[in-house]
Amino acid sequence: MDAIRNALGPVGIWSMELRGASRPQVREAAAELDELGYRALWIPGLDGKGALDDLGHLLASAPRATVALGVLSIWGHDPAALGDRMIAFDTSYGPRALLGLGISNAHSAANAGQDYGSPTVSMGRFLDGLDTAPHPVAVDRRMLGALGPKMVDLAVARTSGWHPFLVTPEYTAGQRARVGSAPVVAPHLAVVLDRDPARARAAARDGIGMFIGFPAYRANLTRLGFGEQDLVPGGSDRLIDALVAWGDLDDVARRVQAHLDAGADHVTLHVLRSQPDDGGDLPLPQWRELASLLPALTRGATA
What is the pLDDT, as a whole number, of residue 150? 97
Domain count, the chain: 1
What is the pLDDT, as a whole number, of residue 279? 63
What is the pLDDT, as a whole number, of residue 2? 87
Domain span holding position 18: 2-190+252-302
What is the pLDDT, as a whole number, of residue 27? 97
246 in a structural domain:
no
84 in a structural domain:
yes
203 in a structural domain:
no
226 in a structural domain:
no
Q: Which pTM does this prediction carry?
A: 0.95
What is the pLDDT, as a whole number, of residue 172? 95
- Segments of the chain with pLDDT less than 50: 299-303
d(CA 64, CA 59): 8
List the CATH number of the domain containing 83.
3.20.20.30
What is the pLDDT, as a whole number, of residue 303? 34
Which are the contacts of 266, defined by CB distance < 8 A and separation ≥ 6?
5, 8, 9, 10, 11, 12, 40, 184, 185, 186
What is the pLDDT, as a whole number, of residue 165? 97
Which are the contacts of 152, defined by CB distance < 8 A and separation ≥ 6?
146, 162, 175, 178, 179
Radius of gyration of the chain (CA): 18
What is the pLDDT, as a whole number, of residue 298? 63
